[in-house]
Structure 1
Amino acid sequence: MTTTRFAPSPTGYIHVGNLRTALMNYLIARKAGGTFILRIDDTDPERSKEEYVDAIKQDLEWLGLHWDRIERQSDRLDRYAEAADKLREMGRFYEAFETPTELDLKRKKQLNMGKPPVYDRAALNLSDAEKEALRAERGNGVWRFKLDHERIEWNDGILGDISIDASSVSDPVLIRGDGQVLYTIASVVDDTEMGVTDVVRGSDHVTNTATQIQIIEALGGTCPRFAHHSLLTGPQGEALSKRLGTLALRDLREQGVQPMALLSLMARLGSSDPVELRSDMAELIEGFDIGRFGAAPTKFDVQDLFPLTAKHLQSLPLADVADAVAEAGVPADLAEPFWAMARENITTLADLKGWWELCRDGAEPLIADEDRDFIAEAIALLPEGPFDGETWGKWTSAVKEATGRKGKGLFMPLRKALTGMERGPEMAALLPLLQVIRAKA
């Protein structure tokens, strides 16, 4: 069975970069009728916060990305300890004691000599006595996985055939000096024991994948299928990493972005398929193909979400937005005609409030000096209320006959006088709402 996972760290809110990973893994699982696991990567006790765990769940639920089960890495520390012991017994795990400063000096020296800046494995030459002395002086060291210096190869679902020389990569640190288990080994143990078959993540993890393949093989596991999606940039190709904090999903939700607009964009962004608004999750699942995504950096512009949001809202019946219409202050008996009038003229649901204020309170008339006599004559011809969908047409016909005005010269001054705006909803739909509100006042 196809099994995927999304493994966020609860050290902050989910942003659009995280969502890309979550959505791809979700769609793969759902398209195959498989399992989608939410795995909370909370092995860092200092930075992990329960409020962020709750926020991750809320954001995924808002988007409709429902997980089949949830796992927490903090509940599985004994499993990681067993894996570490196994690697020690195999001679693939060793303790190293260099300080960050010492490592930095080594890297600079290697670069100056034209060599790749990889760890030189000096710790492997330490005697037991030297290790004890270093522990007494510096505390426990870090634990590194000893890579086999051979080529690591796999067929990537997006990048194609990948081949990395393990000798060009430092032996990865899997456990810190304070005992904290790092992502590299925790993820391997979890993927193996949870039967994860497909892993999609950012291209910044390619080197991690190479080392993890060797760890998986050392522990006797089966490697999942890997795919590494491109990283997002800003609309001009600028690095997005520093701005991701301002692109948290909850901030987008606060700005009125609709879930289906966000999902429709992220399910196609960076692929060879055009971005198209989808009506529901089933359409997204059916049309998803990981093989259609490319390796080039992918431009993301938050402004692209708002036309999609507007288009999505236009497709919704009143029942789907009834709460928002009510929150805008619209009485229940006017909700249906109000939504029919407003839906084509909003970008987000927050815009409903302004249209209701226009209906309820009217607007400051916008009348040019040359139109004052015309407007006065037109208002005198306005029939008694209540108005209906026919009123605007009948009234403007009467005004045309009386004044000789037609076309834009007829309709625009009337719109501006009634709404204070040059553009907006169809006046035939808006006029009855304006009249009903005045009649009620």
Structure 2
Amino acid sequence: MTTTRFAPSPTGYIHVGNLRTALMNYLIARKAGGTFILRIDDTDPERSKEEYVDAIKQDMEWLGLHWDRIERQSDRLDRYAEAADKLREMGRFYEAFETPTELDLKRKKQLNMGKPPVYDRAALNLSDAEKEALRAERGNGVWRFKLDHERIEWNDGILGDISIDAASVSDPVLIRGDGQVLYTIASVVDDTEMGVTDVVRGSDHVTNTATQIQIIEALGGTCPRFAHHSLLTGPQGEALSKRLGTLALRDLREQGVQPMALLSLMARLGSSDPVELRSDMAELIEGFDVNRFGAAPTKFDVQDLFPLTAKHLQSLPLADVADAVAEAGVPAELAEPFWAMARENITTLGDLKGWWELCRDGAEPLIADEDRDFIAEAVALLPEGPFDGETWGTWTKAVKEATGRKGKSLFMPLRKALTGMERGPEMATLLPLLQVIRARG
């Protein structure tokens, strides 16, 4: 069975970059009728916060990305300890004591000599007595996985054939000196024991994947299929990393972005398929193919979400937005005609309030000096209420016959006088709302 996972760290709110990973893994699982796991990477007790765990769940539920089960890495520390012991017994795990300053000096020296800046494995030459002395002086060391210096190869679902020389990579640290288990080994143990078959993540993990493949093989596991998606950039190709904090999903929700608009964009962005608004999750699942994504950095512009949001809202019946219409202050008996008028003229549901205020209170008329007599004559010809969908046509026909005006010179001054705006909803749908509301006052 196909099994995928999304493994966020609860150290902050998830953003569009995290969503890309979550969505791809979710769609792969759902298209195959498989299992999607939400796995909380909370092995860092200092930075992990329960409020962020709750926020991750809320954001996923808002988007409709429902998980089949949830796991927490903090509940599995004994499993990681067993894997570490197994690696020690195999001679693939060793303790190293260099300080960050010492490691930095080593890297600079290697670079000056034209060599790759990888860890030199000096710790392997330490005697037991030297290790004891270093522990007494510096505390416990870090634990590194000893890579086999051979080529690590796999066929990547997005990048194609990958081949990395393990000798060009430092032996990865899997456990810190303070005992904290790092993602590299925790992920391997979890993926193996949970039967994860497919892993999609960012292209910044390619080297990490290479080392994890060797760890999986050392522990006797089966490697999942890997795919590494491109990283997002800003609309001009600039790095998004410093801006991702402002692109948190909850911030986009606050700005009125609709879930299906966001999902439709992220399910196609960076692929060879055009971005198309989908009506529901089933359409997204059916149209998804991870192999159609490219390796080039992918431009993301948050402004692209708003036309998609507007288009999505236009397709919705009143029942789907009834709460938002009520929150804008619209009386229940006017909700249907109000939504019919407003739906074509909003970008987000937050715009409803302004349209209701126009209907309820009217607007400051915009009347040019040369139109004052015309407007006065037109107002005198306004039929008795109540108004309906035919009133605008009946009225403007009468005004045309009385004044000789037609086209833009007829309709525009009337719109500006009634709404204070040069453009907006069809007046045939707006006028009845204005009249009904004034009559109610």
Normalising by the smaller structure, the TM-score range is: over 0.9
Q: Distance in 2 between matches of 1:236 and 1:143?
A: 42
Give CA deviations for 1:269-325 in whole Å, capped at 9, x if unaligned. 000000000000000000000000000000000000000000000000000000000
Q: Distance in 1 between matches of 2:365 and 2:231?
A: 50
Q: CA deviation at 1:162?
A: 0.1
Q: Distance in 1 between matches of 2:362 and 2:242?
A: 45
Q: CA deviation at 1:426?
A: 0.2
Corresponding residue number in structure 1 for 2:66: 66
Corresponding residue number in structure 2 for 1:284: 284
Secondary structure at 1:241 match in 2: coil
Secondary structure at 2:164 match in 1: strand
Q: CA deviation at 1:76?
A: 0.0
Give CA deviations for 1:337-396 in whole Å, capped at 9, x if unaligned. 000000000000000000000000000000000000000000000011100000000000
Q: CA deviation at 1:229?
A: 0.1
Q: Distance in 1 between matches of 2:237 and 2:162?
A: 25
Q: Distance in 2 between matches of 1:110 and 1:200?
A: 33
Give CA deviations for 1:175-230 in whole Å, capped at 9, x if unaligned. 00000000000000000000000000000000000000000000000000000000
Q: Distance in 1 between matches of 2:384 and 2:52?
A: 58
Give CA deviations for 1:374-429 in whole Å, capped at 9, x if unaligned. 00000000011100000000000000000000000000000000000000000000
Q: Distance in 2 between matches of 1:437 and 1:231?
A: 51
Question: Unaligned regions of 5+ residues in structure 2, if any?
Answer: none
Q: CA deviation at 1:37?
A: 0.0
Secondary structure at 2:174 match in 1: strand
Q: CA deviation at 1:159?
A: 0.1
Q: Distance in 2 between matches of 1:120 and 1:377?
A: 92
Q: Distance in 1 between matches of 2:434 and 2:384?
A: 13
Q: Distance in 2 between matches of 1:14 and 1:414?
A: 49
Q: CA deviation at 1:253?
A: 0.1
Give CA deviations for 1:115-173 in whole Å, capped at 9, x if unaligned. 00000000000000000000000000000000000000000000000000000000000
Q: CA deviation at 1:78?
A: 0.0
Q: CA deviation at 1:252?
A: 0.1
Q: Distance in 1 between matches of 2:358 and 2:220?
A: 69
Equivalent residues, number: 441
Give CA deviations for 1:25-50 in whole Å, capped at 9, x if unaligned. 00000000000000000000000000
Secondary structure at 1:162 match in 2: strand
**1:398 corresponds to 2:398:** yes
Q: Under a length normalisation based on structure 1, what TM-score does the superposition of the two structures give?
A: 1.00
**1:30 corresponds to 2:30:** yes
Give CA deviations for 1:208-260 in whole Å, capped at 9, x if unaligned. 00000000000000000000000000000000000000000000000000000
Q: Distance in 1 between matches of 2:358 and 2:386?
A: 17
Q: Distance in 1 between matches of 2:47 and 2:290?
A: 33
Q: Distance in 2 between matches of 1:233 and 1:437?
A: 48
Q: Distance in 2 between matches of 1:171 and 1:241?
A: 26
Q: Distance in 1 between matches of 2:341 and 2:11?
A: 44
Q: Distance in 2 between matches of 1:55 and 1:319?
A: 27
Identity of aligned residues (%): 97
Secondary structure at 1:30 match in 2: helix
Q: Distance in 1 between matches of 2:90 and 2:189?
A: 16
Secondary structure at 1:37 match in 2: strand
Q: Distance in 1 between matches of 2:319 and 2:27?
A: 27
| CA root-mean-square deviation | 0.1
Secondary structure at 1:163 match in 2: strand
Q: Distance in 2 between matches of 1:36 and 1:433?
A: 48
**1:227 corresponds to 2:221:** no
Give CA deviations for 1:41-73 in whole Å, capped at 9, x if unaligned. 000000000000000000000000000000000
Secondary structure at 1:155 match in 2: strand
Secondary structure at 2:295 match in 1: coil
**1:349 corresponds to 2:349:** yes
Q: Distance in 1 between matches of 2:438 and 2:208?
A: 67
Q: Distance in 2 between matches of 1:94 and 1:253?
A: 47
Q: Under a length normalisation based on structure 2, what TM-score does the superposition of the two structures give?
A: 1.00
Q: Distance in 2 between matches of 1:175 and 1:403?
A: 86
Q: Distance in 2 between matches of 1:220 and 1:136?
A: 35
Corresponding residue number in structure 2 for 1:171: 171
Q: Distance in 1 between matches of 2:14 and 2:281?
A: 20
Output aligned runs, 1:194-343, within 5 Å: 194-343=194-343
Q: Distance in 2 between matches of 1:365 and 1:235?
A: 40
Q: Distance in 2 between matches of 1:50 and 1:253?
A: 21
Corresponding residue number in structure 1 for 2:90: 90
Secondary structure at 2:340 match in 1: helix
